[in-house]
Every structure is written in structure tokens, then in C-alpha cells.
Chain A
Amino acid sequence: MTDRAEKPRLAVFKFTSCSGCQLPFLNMETEILDLAESIEVAYFAMAGASQPGPYDLAFVEGGISCQEDARRIRKVREESRILVAIGNCAVYGGPQALRNFLPLEELKRAVYPQPELIHCFPTCQGIADYVSVDGFLNGCPVDHGHLQDYIVSVMLGKAPEVSTRSVCLECKMKENVCLIVAEGVACMGVLTGSGCGALCPSFDRGCYGCFGPSADPNLKSFANLCRELGLTEEEIHRKFRYIVNNAEAFREEAERHVPQPVES
């Protein structure tokens, strides 16, 4: 049962993103030696590996934001047997997908002194909008435990399973006191998939929804809760138009809470 075939070739690619989802690989301090023993890190720019394909398992960080991204992700797809989107940007488009909801030219002019030099798509999307994707690991950044499970599963020839647990369960296992119940904070943990270890609620900050919508998020009930807690429609809108703004469930919920134009 321990037939160890040739070491699988691993690749890590970056697209439009902050590079934060590559760090969990480098942070696997104790496991990294084991990892190097069982797999070949063939491409990982941040770690100095840049061998050509093909690759057995490619993790992709970052959204697709311009023509060059789109061309490159198609090439990565061709070269990779298993292609996995990691993190909010590769899965949903990332925080920068906020631009999807605003006119591009106006934004360029507001941000850059020479907007004519910027050549990008009007939207930033997850990679699945451009290529077929074999797996999705959410997070901002992705969880290193999820990454490890995924890699080990592939090595064992098993379809990886990603749990449908909510952030709430991570809070409960840490015996955090619920911020919604005790503090009246509109914490998004009830809508959000687990993986972060309830990082924000552990520091008394409501969940921002980094890991994206859970398996069956009750958005309507959450909006009602927000109203009961005194949030305005604009504030509810902003909760969903934030870090994970381009996941379908959050995107559509934001649209249901359109900020009213301020009368002048």
C-alpha cells in the first residue's frame, strides 16, 4: 500500500494578488522538509524554483485581471494535471474585484497619474472564469492545513474533501464567546466557511467573511440580524462588498442592499 511512485511535481503560480497565499507554503516550517522529501517543487518563484512544466499539481494564487493573466492561466492549465485555485483572488477575484462594480476609466483616472498606461480588463475574476479548475481552497489567505490535506490527498490518490463547517464551529472549539450573542456585533462567521481558526472573533472582531460563503449561507436572515443590530442598508451593502465581494452569494446580497443616494 505504500507504493511510492515518482515524486509528484508541484507548482505554485501567482496572478493578480498580494502574494499572501504563497506564504502558507513557506510557513510550513516543520512540515516543509517532509514535503521536500515527498514532492518535487518544480515551479515556485517565491522559493526560487522555475523549472518548466508539465506539473502534476499546480496551485494558483491570484485573479485574472488583464490579457497577460488570461494568456498565462491558459498555459498553466495546459501544463498542469491538477489545477487548484487557492485563496480569495484565484477563487473569486479577490478584494480587487471591487473594481468590477465601478466604471474602469473613472477608477484609472482617480488612481494613476497616467491612466492611459494601464491596460487591464474591466473586471478581475477568479480563474474558473477562464479555465477549468479541479479544486478550490478559499481563504484570505488560504489555510495551510487545507493545503496540506490537499497535497497529501493527491499523493495518496484520493479526492480531497473540504469540510462545510462554519467559522462558528471554530469559535466554539476555542470557547470564544459569540460576538453576535454577547456583543451585538454583526459577525459574518455564521455565513462563512471555516479554515482561519476563527482568527478575528478570537480578537473580538466580527468575522469579515474572508473564506467566502459557507455551503448554505442564510443571507436573508443575516441581513435581518444586521437591521436588528442597527445597521443601515448601506452598512449591510458594505459588509458584502468587502474582502470576498465577488462570490456569487455575497455579490448578489450586496445588490439587495443598494445604498440610497444622499440628497444634497
Chain B
Amino acid sequence: MVKSEEDLRRGANPLSLRPVEILDVRRETPDVNTYTLRLVDGSRFRFRPGQFNMVSVIGIGESALSMSSDPEGTEALAEGVFQHTIRVVGNVTRALARLRAGDRFWIRGPYGNGWPLEQASGDLLIIAGGIGLAPLRPAIYRRLAGNPGRLEILYGARTPGDMPFRDEFPVWQEGGARLLLTADKADEGAEWPYRVGLVTALLDEVEVSPARGQVFICGPEGMMKSVVGALSKRGWPPEEIFVSLERRMECGQKTCGRCQIADVYVCQDGPVFSYAAVRDLLGVDL
């Protein structure tokens, strides 16, 4: 959790919750919604791209979910709003899917380290699978807002219909991003001018070169492993590859023990790790 001087002075209870109000629910895909939110106390919610909240629907439980909005976008600065983009997979996300604009739920956070954007000063290659695009979206907007380096985005999902943020893709492209898309399978009869197949197949088309950039990857762990493997073969050094890992978390505070992989806690040491730091952990069956 990011500490502020004020929090430390107050000795804040890191496990207590803050209510948020839903301003808007937007259906991205059949099982993914984007929630536009604001803290009920009216303060601006600050976070870094790649960080997450522990999100509560009290009575149902709590779940670790990444923020998906630009933390320094116009709306964030002007109105203090932020977004979560959430796929329905379990009890908490199912309960969230029942909520509407005007409803409230609870959060604590932000937790975790986030993407090393300040370190990624050259070209940036972003590779996402499925809902893994959500925690990368804040990083995409931060890059588009200022960095002169090249930005390439490789994105794959099960079907074109499973891709969130589709209407923003043209905006990203106009902003200078090169966007390469693929779907595991295209819908019958639907227009799909992009590739069909796994995201690794797009790697041959990448223009960003290993010598002068970083890679940020988020997706299912199997996909990340194969992407990392393929990048390594193409000469990307492990120090320049960053992955966001997902583990079960109860606390976000390094005390519940759930997210440990060997001596690493995903909640605070991560969720973003350089491949160099976790290569052995991912390879070995821990």
C-alpha cells in the first residue's frame, strides 16, 4: 500500500475500507464490465498504473482487482474518478455485476508496485491476453500522454467479442501506438481483418527491438510463460521483460501468506516483476 505522510501519522488501519460510488457501469463484453467510480468522501483516489485494490462487497467477500483507468487522465484530475474493469469469475465479481450506477461498494488500496514506467524510457512493447489488458490500460494512457518512444501493443483474446476497450483502439492508434490484434478464433461470419491464433504468433511482426526497450506482459500465466519464452529466444534480456502475476490474496499486506511464491509476496513485492526476478519461480513448480 502506498504510504502517505498523513496515513502514517494517523496510524491508519490498513485493513479498513472506504466506500466508493458507482458513477457508470459499461458493458465491455458479455462477462466484463468497466465501473467508473469515485470515493464517497469526494477525495481523489491516487494510484500508479498496474496497482490493484482489495474490492469488497460486504457479506460476499473481498477480491484483488486492478485499476484500469488513466490515474492522471483529465477526468481523474478534474473529478477524482477512476475505473475497474472486471470479469465475472467468482462470488465477488458476480455480486459486482449485479450493481448499477448509484450503488456503492468498498475498497482498500492501492496495493502493489505497478508497472515500471519511469524505467521504461525507450520503446515499449505491451503484450496482453484477455482481461490482462485492463491493468495495462493505465500504462498505455500514461505512455500516450507523453513519452516520445515507440509504443507497440500486441493483444489477443478468445474471440473479438471478448476484447474490452475496442472503441478506444482507434484512439490509441491515432495517439501513435501500433496495435496488433489476434483472436483465438474469429466469430463465424463476423468481420475480423486481423489475425486468428495465439498472441505469440504476433511476435514476428514486432518492430520494437530488444536493444532499446522494455516489454510489459499481462495475461493468463500459461500465455505469459510462452510469450516470455518466445521473447527470450528473440534476444530480449530477462531484466527488460516485466510480467504481472496473479495469485490468491486475502490481505494485500504480506500477512495472509496466500500469494507467496518462494520468498516473494505477489501483493507487495509485485504484482509486477521483472522476468529476471521470477524466472526460477515460474519455471520451478512451487
Check: A159 CB closer than 8 A to any chain B CB: yes
Q: Which of chain B's residues 109-135 have a Cβ closer than 8 Å to chain A?
A: none
Is B57 in contact with A159, judged by CB distance below 8 angstroms?
no
Cα distance A60–B91 when bound, in Å?
Answer: 25
Check: A157 CB closer than 8 A to any chain B CB: yes
Which residue of A1, A157, A159, A161 is within 8 Å of B58 (Cβ)?
A1
Q: Which of chain A's residues 176-214 have a Cβ closer than 8 Å to chain B?
A: none
Which residue of chain B has its CB nearest to the CB of A155?
B59
Nearest-Cβ distance from residue B32 to partner chain A, whole angstroms: 19
* Mask of B231-253 contacts with A, CB within 8 angstroms, 1/0: 00000000000000000000000
Complex interface: chain A residues within 8 A of B94 (CB): 157, 159
Nearest-Cβ distance from residue A64 to partner chain B, whole angstroms: 31
Complex interface: chain B residues within 8 A of A1 (CB): 57-59, 103-105
Q: Give the number of residues in A that approach B within 8 Å (Cβ atoms).
A: 6
Check: B145 CB closer than 8 A to any chain A CB: no
Is A158 in contact with B104, judged by CB distance below 8 angstroms?
no
Complex interface: chain A residues within 8 A of B91 (CB): 158-159, 161
* Mask of B42-66 contacts with A, CB within 8 angstroms, 1/0: 0000000000000001111100000
Cα distance A1–B19 when bound, in Å?
Answer: 12
Q: Give the number of residues in B that approach A within 8 Å (Cβ atoms).
A: 13
- Most A-side CB within 10 Å, residue of B57, B59, B61, B105: B59
* Mask of B85-117 contacts with A, CB within 8 angstroms, 1/0: 000001100110010000111000000000000
Which residue of chain A has its CB nearest to the CB of B103?
A1
* Mask of A1-30 contacts with B, CB within 8 angstroms, 1/0: 100000000000000000000000000000
Q: Interface SS of chain A: helix, strand, loop or mixed?
A: loop
Complex interface: chain A residues within 8 A of B98 (CB): 157
Q: Which of chain A's residues 109-165 have a Cβ closer than 8 Å to chain B?
A: 156-159, 161
Nearest-Cβ distance from residue B8 to partner chain A, whole angstroms: 32
* Mask of A64-102 contacts with B, CB within 8 angstroms, 1/0: 000000000000000000000000000000000000000
Complex interface: chain B residues within 8 A of A161 (CB): 91
Cα distance A156–B60 when bound, in Å?
Answer: 7
Complex interface: chain A residues within 8 A of B57 (CB): 1
Nearest-Cβ distance from residue A3 to partner chain B, whole angstroms: 9
Which residue of chain B has its CB nearest to the CB of A157?
B95
Nearest-Cβ distance from residue B68 to partner chain A, whole angstroms: 23
Cα distance A156–B103 when bound, in Å?
Answer: 16
Which residue of chain B has its CB nearest to the CB of A160?
B91
Nearest-Cβ distance from residue B210 to partner chain A, whole angstroms: 44
Cα distance A161–B91 when bound, in Å?
Answer: 10
Complex interface: chain B residues within 8 A of A156 (CB): 59-60
Cα distance A157–B98 when bound, in Å?
Answer: 10
Cα distance A156–B94 when bound, in Å?
Answer: 12
Cα distance A158–B91 when bound, in Å?
Answer: 6
Nearest-Cβ distance from residue A161 to partner chain B, whole angstroms: 8
Cα distance A159–B91 when bound, in Å?
Answer: 6
Cα distance A130–B91 when bound, in Å?
Answer: 28
Cα distance A158–B95 when bound, in Å?
Answer: 8
Cα distance A161–B248 when bound, in Å?
Answer: 15
Cα distance A161–B90 when bound, in Å?
Answer: 11
Nearest-Cβ distance from residue B122 to partner chain A, whole angstroms: 46
- Most A-side CB within 10 Å, residue of B60, B61, B98: B60
Which residue of chain B has its CB nearest to the CB of A161?
B91
Nearest-Cβ distance from residue A56 to partner chain B, whole angstroms: 17
Interface residues of B (CB under 8 A from A): 57-61, 90-91, 94-95, 98, 103-105
A-B contact pairs, 20 of them (CB 8 A): A1-B57, A1-B58, A1-B59, A1-B103, A1-B104, A1-B105, A156-B59, A156-B60, A157-B60, A157-B95, A157-B98, A158-B59, A158-B60, A158-B61, A158-B91, A158-B95, A159-B90, A159-B91, A159-B94, A161-B91
Given pairs A158-B91, A159-B91, 19 additional interface contacts (CB within 8 A): A1-B57, A1-B58, A1-B59, A1-B103, A1-B104, A1-B105, A156-B59, A156-B60, A157-B60, A157-B94, A157-B95, A157-B98, A158-B59, A158-B60, A158-B61, A158-B95, A159-B90, A159-B94, A161-B91
User: What are the 3 closest A-B residue pairs judged by CB atoms, nearest first?
Assistant: A158-B91, A158-B60, A156-B59
